Amino acid sequence: MDKQSCTSRLRELDVYNIFYYRPEVKIIPRILPEGEGIEAVSAGISAGKKWMIVFGKTHAYFIHTHPVNGTKTRKVPYESVSSYHTRTGIIFGRIELVLGEEIIKIENCPRKTLPQVERALGSFCGSSGS
C-alpha cells in the first residue's frame, strides 16, 4: 500500500481529519504487507505509550512513533484474539483485545472510530465482543 492509497482509505473511513497530523500515518504503508488493506483505524494509550492501531484483514498492527527512540510496531494475528471488548464513553472509548493470557487495553480511543473497529473485529476475529 502506498502513501496515496493509505490517505484515500483514511478519507473513505472518514477518519483522516482525526489522524492526518500523526507521524504514524507515514509508517502505515511501510508496515502493511502487499495485499493487506485498512479496514479500521483507531488510536489510544496502551502501556503508557500512544499507539495507532490499524486493523487489516488478517492482523491488527500497533504503531508507536517517538522522535528520539524511533518506531515500534507490533503485529497481532486475529486468530490469536480469543475475545475483544469495546466500550464507548462520552468523549473517548476503550478497546480490549484478549490474547489467551495477555490482555491488550487501549484507552482514550476516539469515539468516532469504535463502530468501524467493532465491525472489523467482528468480521475477522469470529469471537464475541461487547
Could you read off the pLDDT of 9-63 as tens digits, one per residue? 999 999 988 888 888 888 999 999 988 999 999 999 999 999 999 999 999 999 9
- Write out the residue range of the structural domain in which residue 21 sits: 3-125
Block residue for cell numbers 504503531: 63
Task: Examine residue 130 and state whether it is found in any structural domain, yes or no.
Answer: no
Q: How many domains does the chain have?
A: 1
What CATH number has the domain bearing residue 45? 2.30.29.30
**Which H or E element spans position 49?**
strand 49-55
Q: Report pLDDT digits (tens) over 37-49.
A: 999 999 999 999 9
- Phi and psi at 83, nearest 5°, equal -160, 170
